[in-house]
Amino acid sequence: MGSAILLLSCPDRVGVVAEVATYIAGVGGNIAHAEQHLSDSDDRFFQRLEIDLEAVAGGLAGFASGFEEVARRLDAEWSLYRSTDRAGLGILVSRQAHCLYDILGRWRIGDLPGEVRVVLSNHPDHRDVARAFGVDFHHLPVTPDTKPQQETRMLEILAGCGVELVVLARYMQILTPTFVDAFPDRIINIHHSMLPAFKGGRPYHQAHERGVKVIGATAHYASADLDDGPIIHQDVTRVSHRDAVSDLVRRGRELENNVLAHAVRAHLEHRVVVTGRRTIVFG
């Protein structure tokens, strides 16, 4: 039934592509798209395949059970997704609403292949809009004292509605390592600057003072060191001396929307693989 996406990585050696492709053809699968990458620094092979499963006996489950042996021979890590599956999304947001509105809008018109399940916020402001888009909203105020309890509560809610990907849509609270570890490579953050330049706070002020001619935004997976996780996507826009800090902030918002949405989509389409401090983002 339908088609599947296979993500695979293993030590490079002669015949990997043949072995995988031969298995697929053997069970009657057809490779609709394929892309691969050989990482020179660690001699590791990465592959993403879109496979038509129409003619495969047992469908996805049948395919997977037979593939286990192939993967063992190749010493491969792999995962398999049904193309039509829609991962559950949870959005964390504070006061600034632009990324929240943007994701809700894109999702509602069908442009994000996931399912927005819940919006969590340390402010009550966005309840009405979330609900107009048909999404549950929880207000979870955070103080230094209540942070651990509230994070526990957040993890419960996210688990309770089957969230697989957490999107930090300008969420201004620093997450504890406990929270981050609960979603390894499954929390996407938007940094309102071109990393690694202007790390930390008030990057648009820094950019203005330095007189840069280009500003950027960076979407990356959250890691213990918040601004240092693997970069998924970046983009820039041209600025000039005529732009006050407030203009940079406003123009940054559009950039943040587009970059975050691009990264979320790439993740949902199973096109992102993390390797060390970097990502491979298949086209």
Which of 144, 174, 201, 242 touches a second copy (CB under 8 A)?
242
| Window 75 to 134, contacts with a second copy (CB under 8 A) | 96-98, 101-102, 104-106, 108-109, 111, 128-129, 131-133
Quick one: 86 or 108, whose CB is closer to a second copy? 108
| Distance in angstroms (rounded) separating the CA atoms of residues 6 and 29 | 12
Strand 231-238 vs strand 214-221: parallel, antiparallel, or unpaired? antiparallel
Quick one: 80 or 129, whose CB is closer to a second copy? 129
| Distance in angstroms (rounded) separating the CA atoms of residues 273 and 10 | 13
Cβ–Cβ under 8 Å, residues 60 and 218: no
Judged by CB under 8 A, does residue 61 bind a second copy?
A: no
* Count of residues interacting with a second copy (CB under 8 A): 77
Least separation in angstroms between CB 222 and a second copy: 15
| Window 166 to 205, contacts with a second copy (CB under 8 A) | 194-198
Q: How many residues does the chain have?
A: 283
x-marked contacts with a second copy along 249-268 as a string, rule CB under 8 A: -x--xx---x--x-------
Using alpha carbons, select from 111, 115, 123, 109 the residue that is nearest to residue 170: 123
Quick one: 153 or 186, whose CB is closer to a second copy? 186
Cis peptide, bond prior to residue 196, ω within 30 of zero: yes
Give the dihedral sign, CA 156/161/165/171.
Answer: negative
| Distance in angstroms (rounded) separating the CA atoms of residues 173 and 206 | 21
Quick one: 80 or 236, whose CB is closer to a second copy? 236
What are 211's two structure tokens?
């007189």
Which residues partner with 136 through β-bridges?
118
Convert 18-42 to b/e letters by CB count within 10 Å (16 or more is b).
ebbeebbeebebeeeebebbeeeee
Least separation in angstroms between CB 99 and a second copy: 10
What are 63's two structure tokens?
């395919």
Least separation in angstroms between CB 150 and a second copy: 25
The gap between the terminal CA atoms of the chain, to the nearest Å, is: 24
Burial class (CB in 10 A: 0-12, 13-18, 19+), 267: buried
Least separation in angstroms between CB 218 and a second copy: 8
Using alpha carbons, select from 271, 181, 261, 262 the residue that is nearest to residue 229: 181
Judged by CB under 8 A, does residue 224 bind a second copy?
A: no
From the list 52, 185, 227, 247, the catalytic residue is: 227
Which of 144, 177, 201, 283 touches a second copy (CB under 8 A)?
283
Judged by CB under 8 A, does residue 235 bind a second copy?
A: yes
Judged by CB under 8 A, does residue 17 bind a second copy?
A: yes
Quick one: 150 or 237, whose CB is closer to a second copy? 237
Tell me the residue type at 197.
A
Which of 55, 72, 144, 145 touches a second copy (CB under 8 A)?
55
Which of 231, 248, 264, 268 touches a second copy (CB under 8 A)?
231
Judged by CB under 8 A, does residue 227 bind a second copy?
A: no
Catalytic annotation present for 227: yes
Q: Which of 1-9, 173-181, 184-192, 233-241 is the region at the interface with a second copy (rule: CB under 8 A)?
A: 233-241
Write out the catalytic residue numbers.
Answer: 227
